[in-house]
Amino acid sequence: SQTIHQWPATLVQPVGSPLSLECTVEGTSNPNLYWYRQAAGRGLQLLFYSVGIGQISSEVPQNLSASRPQDRQFILSSKKLLLSDSGFYLCAWSVQGRAFFGQGTRLTVV
């Protein structure tokens, strides 16, 4: 069966520090991959999505970037975090339209 791994579960980072969140999917090939962010008490904002290796689409301008170095690996990065980057980050994958989410990373920038 398919599983998705996202880590770490929680992260506290100082302003200006770099960020790397990783997400891997097992049990499927060529999935669509997504990064979402959820601010406290709010809906989900699509940040990036990828339909294949090296193919990244960005939805909103920000100081974040994403990469897909392997078919089932999706990485969210930042060179310098801002306070406004705090939130709950969720990785998701979909095949044939149906989407499944990882456990999420709760990021607090201090």
Partner 1 sequence: GIQVEQSPPDLILQEGANSTLRCNFSDSVNNLQWFHQNPWGQLINLFYIPSGTKQNGRLSATTVATERYSLLYISSSQTTDSGVYFCAVETGTASKLTFGTGTRLQVTL
Do the beta carbons of residue 53 and residue 45 sit within 8 Å? no
Counting residues that bind partner 1 (by CB under 8 A) gives 23
**Greatest Cα pair distance in the chain:** 40
Q: Residues 17, 57, 63, 84: which binds partner 1 (CB under 8 A)?
A: 57
- Per CB under 8 A, which region of 13-21, 61-69, 76-84, 86-94 contacts partner 1? 86-94
* Cα–Cα distance, 79 to 35 (Å, whole number): 17
Burial 37-68 (b: 16+ CB within 10 A, else e): beeeeeeeeebbbbeeeeebeeeeeeebebbb
Q: Residues 5, 13, 22, 32: which binds partner 1 (CB under 8 A)?
A: 32
> Minimum distance between the CB of residue 31 and partner 1, rounded to whole angstroms?
10
Binding residues vs partner 1 (CB under 8 A): 32, 34, 36, 38, 43-44, 46, 49, 51, 57, 59, 88, 90, 92, 94, 97-101, 103-104, 106
